[in-house]
């Protein structure tokens, strides 16, 4: 929290005023609106206003067949399309009782981890912009472009991949994919070190982030904060390890955590997570099995009546799908649990007492994706 005013200034008659940040503001990453109550530059209150791009996704799910929903899940959190697919697809497969072939499981993990790196890279570049460093963005987009090219090779699209199908994949991996992946793995660790020196370890960056926007352990748990924002507060919680889904139980990886739960810890956790993803990618590439890429699933997908909740560890946190089936072609209800929403709810406790510039830094460190919040 901010330091107390000196005694000589306490009697000073200042006036609080409201500042409307967004929905069109360079650093709200979309159309989030934040009403700031300010005293000079110091923040007294924060009220996030959401819903500017509410599209009624969950209602749309109810009017689509099970396999038609997958491309819509891409569009909730467009930066981690694959992980959203993942959460939904394993849910429906659980309802159907389909066992996915191992090759498809491995490919799913590869895509999900690539997607995590891609999302974190975009976060890093956007965060650099938020704190005023423009240059890292253009370096980082070079690596991101490599990943996007890999996605394009496999799925055919660059951002909203619609990568997964119920039961596996439609097409097998192209041969050139692994060459590209190998090349990417070979140089990516060096690039990460470079970005760490350029941005994360920079003294100005550190002074902007260390001790800013602290989420304590208790606060994080009470708000349901998840993902790197939670792990920054020194809570070792990761869906990939706690309730392993798909092929994740076969890989060895660490869960990086921060110490103080401040903005810098969250950044560092994301950087280390990218390194861990890289190691998972390496393991998955080495052990990539032969076999089918698609399980046998019925032409008309009619899961038996029942309900299921499945969650995956997305780049921003726990992405969950709660699906209720009434035995017809279309789900009765699909509820999404999105990480950005719960992460945003902690914003007020993190920002009050800091300055305008810190709001930007803190919001950036939460890695919010607004379409995911509004859905």
Partner 1 sequence: MTAFMQFLKDLLYDSGKAFGLIYDGGHKIWAGFNLPPLTLDIIFLLIAAACAAAFIAINALFIIWFERKISARMQLRRGPNRVGIFGIFQTVADTIKLLIKEDITPKAVDKLAFFLGPLLVMTSTFMVFLVMPFGKGLIAADLNIGVIYILAVTGLTVLGLLCAGWGSNNKYSLIGGMRSAAQIVSYEIPNVLVMLTIVLLSGSMKLGDIIAAQPTVGYVWMQPVAFIIFLIASNAEINRGPFDLPEAESELVSGFITEYSGMKFAFFFLAEYTNLFIAGALGAVLFLGGWTGPVLPPFMWFMIKSYFVVFLLMWIRWTFPRIRVDHLMEFAWKVLIPIALLNLVVTAFVIKFH
Partner 2 sequence: MLKYIKDIITGAITLLEGMAITFKYMFQKPITLQYPEQKAQMTTRFRGRLVMPVDEEKGDNRCTACNICVKACPNYSIAVERLTDETGKPKPKAASFTYNMGTCMFCNLCVEVCPFSAIVMSEEYELAVYDRKSLIKDLVAEKYKLKGRKGKWWISKFKDEEQV
Where on the chain is the footprint of partner 1 (CB under 8 A)?
Answer: 17, 19, 25-27, 41, 128-135, 137-139, 142, 198-199, 202, 204-205, 207-208, 355-358, 360
Q: Which residues contact 76 (CB under 8 A, 6 or more apart)?
A: 57, 84, 336, 338, 371, 372, 375
Q: Least distance to partner 2 from the beta carbon of 173, Å?
A: 11
Query: Burial letters for 176-204: b for 16+ Cβ neighbours within 10 Å, e otherwise?
Result: ebeebbeebeeebeebbeebbebbbebee
- Using rule CB under 8 A, residue 203 touches partner 2: yes
Residue whose CB is less far from partner 2, 67 or 234 = 67
User: For residues 61 and 72, is the Cβ–Cβ distance under 8 A?
Assistant: yes
Residue whose CB is less far from partner 2, 195 or 251 = 195
Q: Least distance to partner 1 from the beta carbon of 358, Å?
A: 7
Footprint of partner 2 on residues 232-261 (CB under 8 A)? Answer: none
CA distance 197 to 15: 41
What the block records as the tokens of 266 is 């969250």
Q: Which contacts (CB < 8 Å, 24+ apart) does range 125-129 have?
A: 126/29, 126/364, 127/199, 127/267, 127/364, 127/365, 127/367, 128/199, 129/27
12 binds, among partner 2, partner 1, none (CB under 5 to 8 A by kind): none
Site string for partner 2, 99-138 (x = CB under 8 A): ------------------------------------x---
| Interface segment toward partner 2; rule CB under 8 A; list 67-75, 259-267, 310-318, 341-349 | 67-75
Residue whose CB is less far from partner 1, 9 or 252 = 9
Footprint of partner 2 on residues 162-201 (CB under 8 A)? Answer: 162, 170-172, 174, 194, 197-199, 201
3-state helix, strand, coil in the chain (%, to 5): 50, 10, 40
Residue whose CB is less far from partner 1, 160 or 201 = 201
CA distance 238 to 242: 6
The CA angle 145-357-191, to the nearest 5 degrees, is 25
Residue whose CB is less far from partner 2, 33 or 375 = 375
CB count in 10 Å sphere of residue 135: 12
The only residue of 32, 36, 70, 278 in contact with partner 2, by rule CB under 8 A: 70
User: For residues 278 and 294, is the Cβ–Cβ distance under 8 A?
Assistant: no
355 binds, among partner 2, partner 1, none (CB under 5 to 8 A by kind): partner 1
- Site residues, partner 2 (CB under 8 A): 64, 67-72, 75, 135, 139, 142, 149, 152-157, 160, 162, 170-172, 174, 194, 197-199, 201-204, 206
């Amino acid at each position: 929290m901010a330091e107390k005013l000196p005694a000589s200034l306490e009697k000073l008659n200042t006036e609080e005023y409201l500042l409307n940040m967004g929905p069109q503001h360079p650093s709200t990453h979309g159309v989030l609106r934040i009403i700031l109550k300010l005293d000079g530059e110091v923040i007294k209150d924060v009220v996030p206003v959401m819903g500017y791009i509410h599209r009624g996704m969950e209602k749309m799910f109810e009017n689509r067949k099970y396999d038609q929903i997958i491309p819509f899940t891409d569009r909730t959190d467009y930066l981690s399309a694959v992980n959203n697919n993942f959460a939904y697809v394993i849910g429906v497969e659980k309802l159907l009782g389909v066992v996915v072939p191992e090759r498809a499981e491995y490919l799913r993990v590869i895509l999900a981890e690539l997607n995590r790196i891609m999302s974190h890279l975009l976060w890093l570049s956007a965060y650099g912009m938020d704190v005023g460093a423009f240059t890292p963005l253009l370096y980082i987009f070079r690596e991101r472009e490599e990943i996007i090219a890999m996605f394009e090779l496999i799925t055919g699209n660059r951002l909203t991949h619609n990568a997964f199908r119920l039961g596996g994949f439609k097409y097998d991996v192209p041969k050139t994919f692994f060459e590209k992946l190998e090349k990417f793995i070979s140089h990516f660790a060096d690039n990460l070190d470079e970005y760490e020196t350029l941005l994360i370890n920079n003294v100005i960056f550190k002074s902007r982030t260390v001790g800013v926007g602290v989420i304590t352990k208790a606060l994080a748990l009470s708000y349901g904060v998840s993902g790197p924002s939670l792990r920054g507060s020194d809570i070792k919680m990761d869906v990939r390890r706690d309730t392993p889904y798909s092929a994740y139980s076969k890989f060895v990886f660490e869960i990086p955590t921060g110490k103080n739960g401040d903005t810098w810890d969250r950044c560092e956790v994301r950087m280390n997570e990218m390194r861990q993803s890289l190691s998972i990618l390496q393991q998955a590439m080495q052990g990539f099995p032969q076999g089918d890429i698609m399980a046998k699933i019925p032409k008309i997908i009619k899961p038996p009546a029942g309900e299921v909740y499945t969650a995956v560890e997305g780049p921003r946190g726990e992405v969950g799908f709660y699906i209720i089936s009434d035995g017809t072609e279309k789900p009765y209800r699909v509820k999404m649990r999105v990480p950005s929403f719960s992460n945003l709810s902690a914003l007020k406790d993190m920002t009050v007492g800091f300055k305008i510039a810190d709001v930007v830094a803190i919001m950036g460190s939460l890695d919010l994706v607004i379409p995911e919040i509004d859905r």
